[in-house]
Chains A and B, each alone.
Chain A
């Protein structure tokens, strides 16, 4: 440790800390513009000057490391004059347009001008003119206000990894620029306005809407992906204006999906009052009328329940209580992406924190488009690669990551058995094995070289395995996960404290779902099949859209043609058109509640946004339903409900009780299973994978006009294959026929080099979206 004196106060910091960081750690204010704790040091603004005893000139504190016994002075007459001059230099070309600038009230330049600036600028010559650039659908530029701190460029290079921004020209002609013709392509672009200390980069959607001091802040949890970021919802007059990250959270950034989904809160797709179908239209109804209709449709009937995993833990618990009280025989489904419902050796959720993954010796990503699904984890992996640490990947598509991966193997989903088998062989050769591995191996004949990538990584001291959607939604997922579990155990990556098994869940609250619904859950596919076959009389749909999302749109569609739909939720979406009754339930920003992210962190939403209509917290709707159905509501207050939740999940109680709830992680379920591979070949020669898009997946995203617009900008072809796939069949890109168990249909097929040969990629929200049910198909030139 290094001891130094800041303004005569003795402080101790880690060796190598900069003076500025030492000051920040000890609550000493030093002004700065270019420094940002999450970015590399640029030391270009020169605002952070301090005096060091014995030095003949002031030092930039952000880039000067502390040394033993150093005497630092942060205030003096000379420094005051220096800072005033820096302000004067900066204001030379800065327009005096604070009254019309969105940043006003939240601007470092404005603040420091008050604290340090001269009373009056002495520059009277003309100001420079600057060109603006297209930084994508979410960022406005007003580059005349730029103070050249380069935070944005460093963010683009270091965090977003797009490398699409840079610094052109030199001297006072220097400008920050994007690529002229193309919009910035980044799923983190909404952070740019946040890190710009002045009003040069501005949030486009909230442009001109309000001033910072008019906003009310609400602390909540984003449920748009399993990362569950802390968010600060800013509203004015009960209207959500924007969503921003929360300082001091595990992640300093949030992604564009979580940020710009906010306009969905006011979308026409919101369910704000109970509604009843009359013919082809919906009419507002009272709660009493609506419940009466629900009772009519479900009392004494065979009911299937499908719900979204994104409700708060309290909401989810109330679904279970409702089911037990009213439909004790009902099967429930919540995962629209899992085909194989057998228990997994390690269930969905992470054994490691993302920080631990970033720090592991090796990281292997198996079959996941992390940049779209978990942009913040991807950002950490990018940081890792930049620091020279390896990240390997095996998967069906070379999903763009904006970073050069150490190893990258393209395979088909049907190859996973062979990949794992190859890895098993290699670790066994090195003397590592686990009970059961021989049996597993014996069932798989084929070997795939990509297994080497996996085996190599497993040999490291610590190895983080990130298992993605390609495996989770595989027909034989349980066997694959078991195989991976054997490998991890054989190589010592399964012991407590060194557990590297991470299975990316589709959505939030995975640990809770396997703990609380493990005994009653069924596969959504089976549930829809049962409804389609006339084995059910009604579907209760609580906040999800099985036709728009998930892997069973065709099965869901068939089911909804057969049975009446009761929809409870915050958004109706496309599927809402088919409902008989709609009941409003409050959205995630509108409730107090508890959530669990993929790491098992408990996230608390404490200060809700006010409701817009008649919507109620889900638990209240559930309890009312129990009552209407003639039952006794099992709980009557939120506290009672929480007691039931804690009883079912003691770990959540512990986490909630501990002061630093981040220290207490809710563990992932493990199952002692032995699932041997089923290597029967799929029915058709090509594998089908449906591609996730952060801008289009989920009811919330589709209800957001902002995200939908971004989705259009970033869309790929609806159906894509590798050029070799077509060449080997003697076909050319264009309209082709896809034959699957759903029959034959013609689509326009495009090509891309980064798709694995032998795989058909479909955009879930495109015209071929209903093919998501399919795992294999045949491609031909014949007309359908």
Chain B
């Protein structure tokens, strides 16, 4: 379903997404795609681009929220090795489905963003790592890339500017952890997607041990607008420290689930009530997971929190990937937590002890709890095992696994206790 059009708000990535057949190059071009590309390639220097990106205040949209311009500036310039640009289209975080819409409805926006980013970073070979299940989306991207090559927007000597960049779509094969950037690199090297410890960071030693930048689809799709209108223009949208717009993928118990791009700072309540048509049952949500399943839960008390990086942290959670899962009062939080624990146990890559063993342990304890067979001691173990996973592993998957369990224990102690074996009996 094409994302709906929330009237009266600025949009960046979704600005042209509703135009019929926007995925075709001729349509996209007629509506302004690649309009500014020659200017960038001919008149901008890499330094200027990175400068504009820094000024724009854009923070990575993949989950971690790292400032994009800063990330680009970390790439060493004189290593004698090639630099690679990898687009992270793994979109695996439960609740997230935004990048898919960009890719299937406006693929040229992403391609244009990648060419500009590639030029700024002196990249010759760029790859889009897309989750394996998005086979159709990969086909659409491939078709768009074919069109772009034919129009000399990709390949050797792009538009006669002397810049050469090749772009390849690479399908994953079913592994959430490959969204983590170093696991993504391993996977793109043809190996199991097991994250690498850092340092070295990918910017210095990434794909084939060469300098590598990994950016999310939404991040890269924002680049053309920033370069065309200027970093200051972007910085003026949204609020301090959270510049620009953000796509929120809203799912769960709302009347109109879907992707909504709104300026940062919009409140959670506004998003849910005005754009998503409110909850199915009741007036306030029981639980909101604000940034994908790995982020700590919010409850009714935070319904009016503005959607910004800082406010989310203040509220005890994270903006994450902007995937908002809304649960109304009918929800069984134990069942949901058990389901999420299964997810993390299934997706752990298996290398770090706390994650490999801890995720499985959490799942088995949650099953016990759900079945009414857990004891008071099991609850203690549950919280101990979860707490000692977070922050002790190579990547943040273990933190994500701990979040729902700890949130459940924190926000719904009475509901949980009611399920213990003594009580249930």
The residues of A with any CB-CB pair to B shorter than 8 Å are 41-47, 49, 56-58, 60, 63, 65, 81-82, 85-86, 89-90, 92-93, 122-123, 125, 147-148, 150, 167, 169-174
Contact = CB atoms under 8 A, between A and B. Distances in A.
27 contacts: A42-B351, A44-B352, A44-B353, A44-B394, A45-B353, A46-B354, A46-B392, A56-B391, A58-B391, A81-B388, A82-B392, A89-B357, A89-B358, A89-B385, A92-B357, A92-B360, A147-B353, A167-B192, A169-B350, A171-B346, A171-B349, A171-B359, A171-B360, A172-B348, A172-B350, A172-B360, A174-B351
Q: Which 6 A-B pairs have the closest CB atoms?
A: A174-B350, A57-B391, A89-B357, A85-B388, A172-B360, A171-B348
Contact of A172 (B359, B385, B392, B394): B359
A17 B260 CA distance: 48
A170 B353 contact: no
Interface string B328-362: 00000000000000000111111111101111110
B371 interface: no
A58 to B, nearest CB: 6
A87 B73 CA distance: 41
B361 A171 contact: no
A44 B345 CA distance: 17
A122 B381 contact: yes
Contact of A89 (B199, B361, B364): B361
Interface string B117-157: 00000000000000000000000000000000000000000
B388 A173 contact: no
A509 B134 CA distance: 66
Nearest to B348: A171
Contacts of B388: 81-82, 85-86
A89 B357 CA distance: 6
B74 interface: no
B354 A86 contact: yes
A717 B333 CA distance: 68
B345 A171 contact: yes
B396 to A, nearest CB: 11
A90 B381 CA distance: 15
B358 A170 contact: no
Contacts of A125: 361, 364
A21 to B, nearest CB: 15
A65 B199 contact: yes
B391 A47 contact: no
Contacts of A150: 351
A78 to B, nearest CB: 10
A85 B385 contact: yes
B394 A43 contact: yes
A63 to B, nearest CB: 4
Contacts of A47: 353
A65 B201 CA distance: 13
A169 B351 CA distance: 11
B361 A92 contact: yes
Nearest to B357: A89
A81 B346 CA distance: 27
B360 A57 contact: no
Interface string B187-229: 0000010000101000000000000000000000000000000
A41 B192 CA distance: 17
Chain A CB within 10 A, most for which of B346, B359, B361, B377 = B361
A85 B384 contact: yes
Contacts of B377: 122
B37 interface: no
Contacts of A89: 353-354, 356-358, 361, 385
B356 A172 contact: yes
B350 to A, nearest CB: 3
B341 to A, nearest CB: 12
A541 B366 CA distance: 76
B175 interface: yes
Given A44-B352, A81-B388, A148-B350, 7 more contacts: A43-B197, A44-B351, A46-B353, A90-B353, A125-B364, A167-B350, A171-B347
B393 interface: yes
Nearest to B388: A85
B349 A170 contact: yes
Contacts of A171: 345-350, 356, 359-360
A58 B348 contact: no
